[in-house]
Amino acid sequence: MIMKKLIFFIFFLTACSANIITDSNEPVETTTANDLTVCEILEIEYIELSNKLFNTSFELNKFIDDISPNNVDSDRDQFFKDMEKNWDYQEIYKDYLEIRLNVYSNINKLYENNSDCIVSGDQEISIEQVKEAEKDLSNFVSKYEN
C-alpha cells in the first residue's frame, strides 16, 4: 500500500513538473504602445516626469545633507547662505530649478492637452505653479549669472 502511494505521488509530481515545463514554452504576450490607450500613455509620461523631478530633488537634498555632519536643516541654511560664493552650489541649484521648470511645464501640457484623462492619486500642475517655477529660475539666473 505504501509503495502504491509512493508511486502515485511520484507519478503525480512528474505530471505536474511536465506541465510546468510545457507551459513555460508558450509564447509570452507583450504590451506595445499600440495596445495602450491615450490615457495609459499619458500616465506613463506623467510617471516618468514625476520620477525625474523626484530623483533631482532627492539628489539635491542628499547633496545638501552631505555638506556637514550637522542636521539637514542646518546644512540647508549653510547651502543657501554660501550660494553667493560657491559656484558648485549655484550650478547644482540651477540644475534643480531648470529640471523643475521643465517637468512642471510638461506635466501642465500633458493635462492641458488631455483633460479627459485622470491620473489616479496625482494632481495636475497649474499654470500658476509653472509661472512660479519660471520666476524662481529667472530670479536665480539674474542674481548669479550677471
Ordered DSSP codes for 71-104: -HHHHHHHHHHSTTT-HHHHHHHHHHHHHHHHHH
Q: How many domains is the chain built from?
A: 1
Q: Is residue 51 part of a domain?
A: yes
Q: Is residue 21 part of a domain?
A: no
Q: Is residue 26 part of a domain?
A: no
Q: Is residue 134 part of a domain?
A: yes
Residue 81 has pLDDT above 80, yes or no: yes
Candidates 38, 57, 60, 46; CA nearest to 117 is 38
Residue 77 has pLDDT above 50, yes or no: yes
Please state, in angstroms and rounded to a whole number, the distance separating the CA atoms of residues 52 and 105. Answer: 13
Range of the domain at 111: 32-144
Q: For residue 85, what pLDDT is reported?
A: 92
Q: For residue 24, what pLDDT is reported?
A: 52
